[in-house]
Structure 1
Amino acid sequence: MKIKPKITPIYQTSVFKFDDLTELELYFGEPSSRYLYSRNGNPNSDELADKVNEWEQGAGAVATGSGMAAILAALMACCQAGDHVLCASDIYGGSSSLLNQELSRLGITVTYVPFEHLYELSPFVQPTTRLLLCETISNPLLRVADLQRLAQECHQHSLKLVVDNTFASPVITRPLALGADLVLHSVTKYLAGHSDVTAGVVVAADPALAARLRQIGVLYGLTLSPMESWLAVRGLKTLRLRMREHSANALAIAEFLQQQPAVRAVYYPGLAAHPQHELARAQGTGQYGGMLSILLADDTEVVNRFIRACQRFPFAPSLAGVDSSLSYPLGTSHRYLTSEQQAELGITVGLVRLSVGIEPVEELLADLQAALQSL
């Protein structure tokens, strides 16, 4: 009886069998014809990479063991010792730590470009500069990069544009279609969506760059496991529906928080008052994602009271699951920046980041109202 599963099975194996030496030689002649060792590739991680590649309309992708591994793969695909990279100042703290602490040891240097100077890179470009790393929607202040304009500026200087699309997801923005060379995701967040997977993906616009990514994935041991890949593919199937609910809930909450006396500022690109609102609308699909940040009083005790009072927004360091949560950038994602860097970026004591889930919005609003009334 021939078995035809509707869903790809979990290939929970570290190795694959060969009948004889002839089969082995066939594999090395054409590695894509079959599987050898799960670090080199397995049906589940390839399925995830292919699905995200399809979403992002790329030429090829690799699935990695985490979002950080995806960032590493993207950077190493373009750089070698002695090279220089540019990085938007508004960036995930883990990205800057990787550049500052580890890639610097390999002889790769970095210059950070303030958001307001992203489209005039001449003063920052060196003869060895290879790329610019940025985020579609920045963490944690939700600034929106004009990717088409940025791609034109990068290519004018023969730089690759590498975009972290985690906050937006391909439902909202597809960076490769706007001129980016590499796009990456922490699959842990929206793509998997249920806070039960740790994974990453990098997608390339160019086949040669895609092949280089695959080589890096194998040699650095970055390939994602079968089980995590399978879970992430399952999550991807509801991505479009989840993003619609995340976005609708976040907009309602952002509009509510704008009216609250205890909230000094709300950072969300869906608000008309957001500096890049029109760009976000034009570059996206009329959705703005489920992430927003608020500014409370710059008083640790006020922030602590708010965190303790929130019942539907548990304090957790990650984001983008179907269940809402909150985080504290100064003490988690951006704690290793210098105090000067934190101040320049606007990451202060009172900044709280909300990851808005897909629960009934009236329950989330009631919870936030009660928490704010306790301040």
Structure 2
Amino acid sequence: MSRIQPKTTPIYQTSVFTFQDLNELEQYFEEPGKQYMYTRYGNPNSDELAEGINKLEGGAGAVVTSSGMSAILAAVFSYCQAGDHLLCAEEIYGGSSTLLSQELERLGITVTYVPNEELYEISNYVQPNTKLLLTETMSNPLLQVMDVDKLVQETKRAGIKLVIDNTFATPILTKPLALGADMVIHSVTKYLSGHSDVTAGVVVAKDVEDYNRAKKVMMVFGLNLSPFESWLAARGLKTLRLRMRQHSSNALAIAKFLQQHPKVKQVWYPGLESHAQQEVAAKQGNGLFGGMLSFQISDELEDVNKFMQELQQIPFAPSLAGVSTSISHPLSTSHRALTPEKQQKLGITLGVIRLSVGIEEPEELISDLKQALEKI
């Protein structure tokens, strides 16, 4: 009988791997990566996913984790310990802000938030114990685009590491490591997996030493991803390039429609000529602008609820980046934990709607948005 060679990697749904004897066990410790022992340390499915993402990002190594939040934790712990300080972009995912301000500060790691307009001149914020700057390629939810080249220059000048959350852009649009960033993180839950059926994260390091440290954090803290979710995410990753092209094409068409609608006060999408960073976005995104946009309607609760209720094809789902389009409400979900003052300063009001544009026919999506807007 010929040897079986599956085209798709099987699911190694096991918590532990066996050894023939002590000699084989010693070989495991002497030659890391050659064999498997315990799924928290490594598994063929999680390794396949990590290698696929690492190839796309062009890193020295990638570590997959149980969620996007655990990826942020692993990235911070790769560089920081008690007594250290880090900088973070003021406009960032609310969950990231909560982790830094409420949990890591309890462990002795302090954080200072830098307004986006000051990220290219951080000398007034850097302290002797500052280790890194954390920011997003495109901010959540108002799609402010960071100039990675300038961030690299400024962090190098300050002597600190640059960690970029590349979830919204994905490596199909932007490769921060190639531009000089030290570490990239993703919520794999979003575009990399792409089908709203996985919760996962990833850390990709530019240097081997940083990769090894991130991997150790994952192993010791138990941040590993399960074999089945690794397998699902690896399957989704195979269509990432095709999906991102369609997400981007659809989002641009919808942004242009919303921009002209009388009941829409403002649209935030990097592909619009009115966007302040459109030129940077075009350069960094290779002509693509992603599938995320936000827009503002009336700041009246009744109008917001009416709009959501009248949508026939687009559900209200507090996440993003699936193949099916969905809306979210940042004030009530992702940025709920921020103070009212912080929400107001960032411009996250009651009428701001975040739209995760899927890969359906754009005409169908525009038709649904149009009829719902007309009802308010």
TM-score by length of 2: 0.99
In structure 2, distance between residues paired with 1:344 and 1:149: 24
What is the aligned-residue identity percentage?
64
1:20 aligned partner: 21
Match of 2:92 in 1: 91
Matched, 1:190 2:191: yes
Deviations 1:265-304 (A, max 9, x none): 0000000100000000011110101100001111111111
Residue 72 in structure 1 maps to residue 70 in structure 2: no
Matched, 1:9 2:10: yes
Q: Deviations over 1:247-276 (max 9, x none)?
A: 000000000001111100000000010000
The corresponding residue for 1:318 is: 319
Instruction: Using the TM superposition, give the Cα deviation of residue 28 of structure 1 relative to its aligned residue in structure 2, in angstroms.
Output: 1.3
Instruction: Indicate the residue corresponding to 1:281 in structure 2.
Output: 282
- Partners of 1:146 and 1:282 in 2: CA distance: 10
State the alpha-carbon separation in 1 of the partners of residues 28 and 94 from structure 2. Answer: 41
Structure-2 residue corresponding to 1:252:
253
1:62-103 superposed Cα distances (whole Å, 9 cap, x missing partner): 000000011110010010000000000010000000001110
Structure 1 position 338 matched with structure 2 position 339: yes
Instruction: Tell me which residue corresponds to 1:154.
Output: 155
Please report the TM-score for the alignment, with normalisation by the length of structure 1.
0.99
Query: Displacement of 1:130 after TM fit?
Result: 0.3
1:199-256 deviation digits (Å, cap 9, x = unpaired): 0111000000001011111001011110000000100110000000000000000000
Partner Cα distance (2:234, 2:25) in 1: 30
> Unaligned 5+ residue runs, structure 2?
none
Q: Unaligned 5+ residue runs, structure 1?
A: none
Between the aligned partners of 2:149 and 2:5, the Cα distance in structure 1 is 43
Q: Bigger CA drift: 253-262 or 24-33?
A: 24-33
d(CA) in 2 for partners of 1:348 and 1:178?
34
* Displacement over 6 Å in runs of 4+: none
Letter paired with 2:154:
E
3-state DSSP of counterpart to 1:177: coil
Which whole-Å CA distance do the structure 2 matches of 1:350 and 1:190 have between them? Answer: 25
Give the deviation of 1:31 after TM superposition: 2.3
Amino acid at match of 1:106: L
1:121 maps to what in 2? 122
Matching of residues 83-232 of structure 1 within 5 Å: 83-232=84-233
Equivalents in 2 of 1:373, 1:34: separation in Å? Answer: 60
Separation in structure 1 between the aligned mates of residue 187 and residue 46 of structure 2, nearest angstrom: 14
Q: Alignment length, in residue pairs?
A: 375
**Partner letter of residue 164 of structure 2?**
V
User: Counterpart of 1:16 in structure 2: which amino acid?
Assistant: F
Distance, in Å, in 1 between the alignment partners of 2:222 and 2:4 is 32
Letter of the aligned partner of 1:78 in structure 2? Y
Q: Which residue of 2 aligns with 1:51?
A: 52
Letter in 1 for 2:20: D
The RMSD of aligned alpha carbons is 0.6
1: CA distance between counterparts of 2:149 and 2:4?
Answer: 47
Please give the secondary structure, in 1, of the residue aligned with 2:104: helix
Counterparts of 1:253 and 1:219 in 2: how far apart (Å)?
45
